[in-house]
Structure 1
Amino acid sequence: MSSPQRTRIFLLLLLPVLGLALGLGVLAWRHFYPVTLAAGWSLRVLHDGLEKVSALVEDDEGGLFVSQELQDGKGRILRLHADGSVAHVLNGLSKPDGLVRYRGGLAITQEGGRLPLFWLKGNRLTALFNGENFEGVASDGNYLYAIEDKPSGRLLRYDPDTDETTVLRDGLVEGEGVSICPDGRVLYVEKGKGRVREWRAEGNDRTLVEGLNQPGFLLCSASGVWISEDATHMARLLWLDTDGQLQVVADHLRSAQTLLEVAPGRFLLAEQGRNRILEIQRTPQEI
């Protein structure tokens, strides 16, 4: 065999190895690359080691209620006290994904199949209504709103006065997040279509943002609309400000979940892909 032939064979054998090494390098980069922030924002890890952390709700004593989105009855609600101690509030759930304060207690959704949406008040657990793969949940103080993932893809509204549930929309492509704005507007996410929409009673829902990478949680506040992406890698925290400008606040997140505003310009973000809760804060001059 001539030298050029040997060289050609060597290169043919080497190319797949180089391709594999490059692919592994890209995967490692995407996995370990740290979160990057826009100018004017800072970040610190507030809680670590929380497997499958998903939903966050403030308690009345400076702590947090947290859901762990584990399957097959292993999901649970924890309470992280301000002094650092942890208490188990509720066990035996299947992928508890949504959590919101509701009528003096907590409303809790489950994504693990056809399961009830629970209302926990004190030590009493009540099943309010059933759904198929519930995701987000929100309340306007009276009604309770919940959204389903596939296959049904419905946006639901529960009336506690009549104990009736109304289907506001169906046929959604992977319904994920739902939020009530201060002015009463109802916003929801279609993860499968990468968009955020505004529900309208007369129909013809308006698209606010589209072209997103697996949008998940949604928060509508006085400062605008906040969206976290549930992508395994390269997920972002986005802010649609009151002028309609879409800004990237954080990038290189892994499976970002609930965003909780605990003070003006100060947010807590559940980063499920890294089992932690982040504190993301605007610098004083930016508030």
Structure 2
Amino acid sequence: MPILRRRSVRIALTATTCLIVATLCFFAWQSFYPVQAADGWQVQVLHRDVAKAASLLPQADGSLLVSRELDDSKGSILKITASGDRVVLIDNLSKPDGMAAVKGGWVFSQEGGRAPVSLSRDGQLTELFDGESVQGLWNDGDHLYAVEDRKGNGRLMRYDWASGKLDVLRAGLTEAEGLTRCADGRLLYTEKGSGNVRALADDGRDPVVVQGLSHPTFLMCDERGLWISEDNTHRARLLRVDAKGVQHVVLTFLKAPQSIVADGKGGYLLAEGGRDRVLQLTPPAAQSTAQR
């Protein structure tokens, strides 16, 4: 082989190797770069090794229920006690995702295909209604709302606790994942693919209330505003939209964050499914109170 040709081959191989190494380093950086909190906020890992943590449901006894969103009947609902012990409450589930508290128990959905939305109460498991890839749940006491994460044929449904009747409020939705109701009475839901959050309206037009997001998934409303987690594999964010509609980035460099809930102590818990863990988020006000 001529000298010039050998030299060209070496240069090409070196360049290719450098490109591969740089690419691997970039993805490693995205995966392992620590989560960053906004000024005044603090974030720490509360529970590790919680495979595909999705929904969180704190209990009155200080324990925490976590849905582990594993497919092919490998998913489960895990209870982490106040002392840190772990007990599997329900297993053999297909991507258990949404959870909501109900009187005397809790309900959960399964996103892995056709599966029932079920009620767990007093040690008994009751199937309420069937859905296809149901994710978000919201319970207001009289009704249980559920939304399906499907492409073009998802439904937003309302189950009546008194009669057992199931009404389809919306059909033809695409990647509608999260549900929440705010203090002003609006029921909000996400459209993950389009990056929108919409409000359910009587006229059926459902106005966009937040747009330009990157794969919004779980929602929560409280006195600080509307919380939105972005279900991105890398560099995902936790956002807060205040009463004036201003967006605040609270956490960055998350990996597939899911449910956010109040921890009952002035802070929040966030399931970071991409890193198999539960984070604890402390706001500036709570930190100041703890220091006094």
Deviates more, 1:49-58 or 1:71-80: 71-80
Deviates more, 1:263-272 or 1:111-120: 263-272
Matched, 1:207 2:221: no
Question: What amino acid maps onto 1:119 in structure 2?
Answer: L
Percent identity over paired residues: 43
Q: Following TM superposition, by how much is the alpha carbon of 1:88 offset from its aligned partner in structure 2, in angstroms? A: 2.1
Secondary structure at the counterpart of residue 187 of structure 1: strand
Write the mapping of 1:1-287 to structure 2, written as runs, cut at 5 A. Answer: 7-151=7-151, 152-263=153-264, 265-284=266-285
CA distance 1:78–1:264, change in 2 (3 Å) = closer
Query: Would you say the 8 A contact 1:237–1:249 is kept in 2?
Result: yes
Paired with 1:209 and 1:4, the residues of 2 have a C-alpha distance of 59
Q: Following TM superposition, by how much is the alpha carbon of 1:14 offset from its aligned partner in structure 2, in angstroms? A: 2.3
Q: Following TM superposition, by how much is the alpha carbon of 1:182 offset from its aligned partner in structure 2, in angstroms? A: 2.2
Secondary structure at the counterpart of residue 17 of structure 1: helix
CA distance 1:72–1:3, change in 2 (3 Å) = closer
User: TM-score, normalized by length of structure 1?
Assistant: 0.94
Q: Following TM superposition, by how much is the alpha carbon of 1:16 offset from its aligned partner in structure 2, in angstroms? A: 1.7
Secondary structure at the counterpart of residue 50 of structure 1: coil
Write the deviation string for residues 47-70 of structure 1: whole angstroms up to 9, x where unpaired. Answer: 111111111111111111111111
Q: Following TM superposition, by how much is the alpha carbon of 1:222 offset from its aligned partner in structure 2, in angstroms? A: 2.4
Write the deviation string for residues 183-235 of structure 1: whole angstroms up to 9, x where unpaired. Answer: 32100011111111111021221112222221111112222100011111111
The gaps in structure 2 that reach 5 residues or longer are none
User: TM-score, normalized by length of structure 2?
Assistant: 0.93
Question: What amino acid maps onto 1:178 in structure 2?
Answer: L
Secondary structure at the counterpart of residue 175 of structure 1: coil
Query: Would you say the 8 A contact 1:140–1:184 is kept in 2?
Result: no
Deviates more, 1:37-46 or 1:73-82: 73-82
Q: What's the C-alpha RMSD, in Å, of the aligned pairs?
A: 1.8
Q: Following TM superposition, by how much is the alpha carbon of 1:2 offset from its aligned partner in structure 2, in angstroms? A: 7.9
Paired with 2:212 and 2:172, the residues of 1 have a C-alpha distance of 19
CA distance 1:172–1:264, change in 2 (3 Å) = farther
Secondary structure at the counterpart of residue 248 of structure 1: strand
Question: What amino acid maps onto 1:97 in structure 2?
Answer: D
Secondary structure at the counterpart of residue 200 of structure 1: coil
CA distance 1:201–1:187, change in 2 (3 Å) = same
The gaps in structure 1 that reach 5 residues or longer are none
Secondary structure at the counterpart of residue 172 of structure 2: coil
Q: How many residues align?
A: 287
Paired with 1:10 and 1:191, the residues of 2 have a C-alpha distance of 46
